[in-house]
């Protein structure tokens, strides 16, 4: 094993009350690829800052190899005092470093180097900061959320670049796929202490759950042991006084351990407020287009989004994802073409900029719009503190100003407000930014199980794979293509071409080549064959209809029992309602299948 370049041992740091770090450890050697994981607010960024020498702990030992170079990527880079991005990046080089490497990195990160640091967007600032820390090819790279505000193409390039690098790596990220691909070891920071697994992030969740289950068993055993000792002290045969005092002391120690145990952090409870069901057709766009000057953002794009669809939009920053999203939802008018919104739509939107939040407002005021102490969720009035707890906020935080929240806590708060609004169409622009792994898991379950329709923009490939039913991606020149399935399915249909390969994107096959549905095709060309989605529905609907028919038969048999109503009136009414719902479902399926079958016959005859 290589000698360590960096070692943190027994690190203690407290800001009053429960220590943030209590005996935390971290070591990095040549070739290490470490994922540093933990809940929002657990102290991950603080531990990384201690490793970088930006914060001094109150106790503990720190070793940094004197000849080792360390570079740290903060979440909010400071570029003050630099005239250009190139000057900022080159300032990170040492005397012996390659002077041409900044140009290579800036080019691959989509920057010229001549940009004014004060005019950069969040994504551009993150790219510039990445170029600065990676340019010297340091011995140790400490990266705090390197994928935040990066598009998929840049994330894919960054993965390849880090895997080629000889630098030891310690990285914090909420992007599961990124961590799986760059890590070989995992350090879990939990309740102030660290545990290390000599395997990559792909093995983390199973390892974490095993530890928590064992901890729960040990705590239960300790509780039972305390009960036995208390029983012995009260009713046992009196032994020598000295022995009794020893056992009493041991009991006090066990009680102290039991009371002092910091259980695992709570789990968020996330659910969306349901609105009335929308119409079957949610959005229909026909040949829509949008340009800004000489730049074509969207060209002849058509799509029908139906109730229950979950659509993901992906692509490089600047490709026009947000513009397309706004046109589809009616917020922005297209230059040409038409967009028709379905009936009974109730839209809840989470935008990329996370809407303006007054930093002086308290959490309770923000969630209730300053009206009283209650919020209405799913038609049920709830106290704001109870609703806050669903999103892992403590009761005492109700009067806390928003300005005191961390980035992850603010993301959770905005999500709580959006999801409290009744909706049958969720529009989510970068919903995963700043969320911790556990909250991401619950958001993913919410999106995947949402009864209405979802349109989302995301650079999180794992999240897309687990939630969406189709992907819309750019194809160059303002053309957009819809692919059935998640992000991995899209790659398969593109022949494995990543978004990072920008030159290959423009050469992707069109609908005739079987890769997807192109927005640039004329309506006649698009109508020459069924889309992948239509063919899939045509093949699977008969089986689904058979299952619903079987369910209807079973319900009708139940109702045919003459004693059913007398025996259980409430259950009888529920069965009647369920039967009515299943019959409507079957009618809708039959109508859809008939339309598709007629279309298929028409195309074959044509």
**Structure confidence by residue, pLDDT tens digits, 67-76:** 999 999 998 8
Distance from chain centroid for Cα 120: 25
Q: Which of 455, 418, 425, 452 is nearest to 325 (CA)?
A: 455
| 42's tokens | 């657990």
Of 49-63, 144-158, 172-186, 241-255, the poorest mean pLDDT is in 241-255
Query: What percentage of residues in the chain have a pLDDT greater than 70?
Result: 83
Sign of torsion over alpha carbons 46, 186, 108, 456: negative
State how far the Cα of 583 lies from the Cα of 589, in Å rounded to an integer.
Answer: 10
Residue pair 423/449 in contact (Cβ under 8 Å)? The answer is no
**pLDDT confidence band for 232 (50 / 70 / 90):** low
Neighbours of 227 (CB within 10 A): 10
DSSP-derived pairing of the beta strands 21-29 and 4-13:
antiparallel
Q: What are phi and psi of 152, to 5 degrees?
A: -60, -40
314-366: pLDDT as tens digits? 988 778 898 999 999 999 999 999 999 988 888 888 765 555 677 888 988 88
Name 168's Cβ contacts closer than 8 Å, sequence gap at least 6.
5, 6, 28, 29, 30, 31, 32, 33, 34, 139, 140, 141
Q: How many CA atoms lie within 13 A of 197 on its CB side?
A: 20
Residues 6+ apart with CB under 8 A from 597: 538
When mean pLDDT is compared across 120-134, 201-215, 274-288, 481-495, the lowest value belongs to 274-288
Q: Which DSSP letter does residue 513 get?
A: G
Distance between CA atoms of residues 466 and 439, nearest Å: 14
The more confidently predicted of residues 516 and 235 is 235
**Cβ neighbours of 558 (radius 10 Å):** 15
521: pLDDT strictly greater than 50: no
Confidence of residue 242 (pLDDT cuts 50, 70, 90): very low
Mean pLDDT of 125-152: 92
Torsional sign, CA 503, 506, 512, 515: positive
At 304 the pLDDT is 93
List, in sequence order, every residue forming a beta bridge with 284; answer none if it has no partner: 304, 340
- 469 backbone dihedrals φ, ψ, rounded to 5°: -100, -15
* Contacts (Cβ under 8 Å, ≥6 apart) of 335: 289, 290, 291
CA–CA separation, 129 vs 89, rounded Å? 7
CA neighbours closer than 13 Å in the CB half-sphere of residue 9: 7
Q: How far is CA 93 from CA 107, 132, 136, 164, in A?
A: 17, 8, 5, 19
Neighbours of 137 (CB within 10 A): 16
Comparing CA positions, the residue from 531, 489, 491, 484 lying closest to residue 512 is 531
């Amino acid at each position: 094993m290589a000698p360590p370049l960096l070692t943190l041992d027994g690190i203690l740091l407290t800001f009053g009350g429960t220590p943030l770090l209590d005996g935390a450890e971290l070591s990095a050697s040549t070739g290490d690829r470490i994922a540093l994981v933990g809940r929002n607010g657990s102290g991950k960024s603080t531990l990384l800052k201690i490793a970088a020498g930006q914060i001094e702990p109150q106790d503990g030992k720190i070793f940094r190899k004197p000849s080792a170079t360390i570079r740290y990527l903060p979440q909010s880079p400071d570029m003050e005092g630099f005239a250009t991005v190139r000057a900022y990046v080159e300032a990170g080089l040492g005397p012996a470093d390659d002077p041409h490497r900044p140009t290579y990195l800036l080019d691959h990160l989509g920057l010229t180097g001549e940009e004014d640091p004060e005019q950069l967007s969040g994504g551009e600032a993150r790219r510039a900061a990445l170029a600065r820390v990676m340019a010297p090819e340091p011995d140790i790279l400490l990266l705090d959320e390197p994928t935040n505000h990066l598009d998929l193409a840049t994330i894919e390039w960054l993965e390849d670049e880090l895997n080629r690098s000889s630098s030891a790596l310690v990285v914090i990220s909420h992007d599961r796929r990124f961590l799986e691909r760059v890590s070989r070891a995992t350090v879990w920071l939990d309740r102030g202490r660290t545990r290390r697994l000599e395997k990559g992030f792909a093995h983390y969740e199973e390892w974490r759950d095993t530890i928590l289950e064992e901890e729960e068993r040990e705590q239960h055993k300790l509780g039972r042991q305390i009960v036995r000792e208390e029983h012995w002290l009260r009713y046992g045969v009196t032994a020598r006084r000295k022995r009794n005092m020893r056992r009493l002391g041991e009991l006090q120690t066990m009680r102290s351990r039991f009371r002092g145990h910091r259980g695992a952090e709570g789990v968020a409870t996330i659910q969306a407020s349901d609105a009335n069901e929308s119409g079957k057709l949610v959005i229909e766009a026909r040949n829509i287009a949008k340009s800004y000057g000489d730049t074509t953002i969207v060209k002849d794009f058509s799509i029908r989004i139906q109730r229950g669809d979950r659509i993901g939009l992906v692509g490089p920053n600047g490709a026009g994802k947000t513009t397309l999203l706004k046109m589809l939802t009616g917020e922005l008018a297209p230059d040409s073409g038409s967009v028709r919104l379905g009936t009974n739509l109730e839209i809840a939107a989470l935008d990329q900029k996370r809407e303006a939040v007054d930093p002086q407002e308290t959490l309770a005021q923000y969630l209730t719009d300053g009206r009283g102490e209650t919020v209405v969720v799913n038609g049920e009035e709830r106290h704001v503190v109870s609703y806050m707890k669903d999103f892992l906020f403590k009761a005492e935080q109700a009067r806390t100003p928003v300005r005191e929240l961390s980035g992850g806590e603010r993301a959770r708060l905005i999500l709580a407000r959006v999801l409290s609004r009744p909706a049958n169409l969720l529009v989510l622009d970068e919903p995963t930014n700043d969320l911790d792994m556990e909250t991401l898991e619950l958001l993913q379950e919410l999106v995947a199980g949402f009864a209405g329709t979802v349109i989302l923009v995301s650079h999180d490939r794992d999240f897309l794979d687990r939630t969406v039913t189709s992907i819309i991606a750019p194809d160059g020149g303002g053309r957009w293509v819809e692919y059935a399935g998640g992000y991995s399915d899209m790659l398969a249909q593109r022949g494995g071409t990543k978004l990072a390969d920008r030159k290959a994107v423009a050469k992707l096959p069109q609908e005739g080549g079987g890769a997807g549905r192109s927005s640039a095709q004329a309506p006649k060309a698009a109508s020459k064959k069924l889309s992948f989605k239509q063919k899939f529905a045509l093949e699977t609907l008969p089986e689904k209809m058979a299952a619903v028919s079987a369910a209807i038969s079973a319900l009708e048999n139940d109702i045919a029992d003459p004693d059913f109503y007398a025996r259980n009136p409430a259950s009888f009414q529920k069965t009647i309602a369920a039967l009515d719902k299943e019959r409507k479902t079957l009618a809708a399926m039959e109508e859809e299948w008939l339309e598709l079958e007629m279309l298929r016959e028409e195309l074959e005859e044509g």
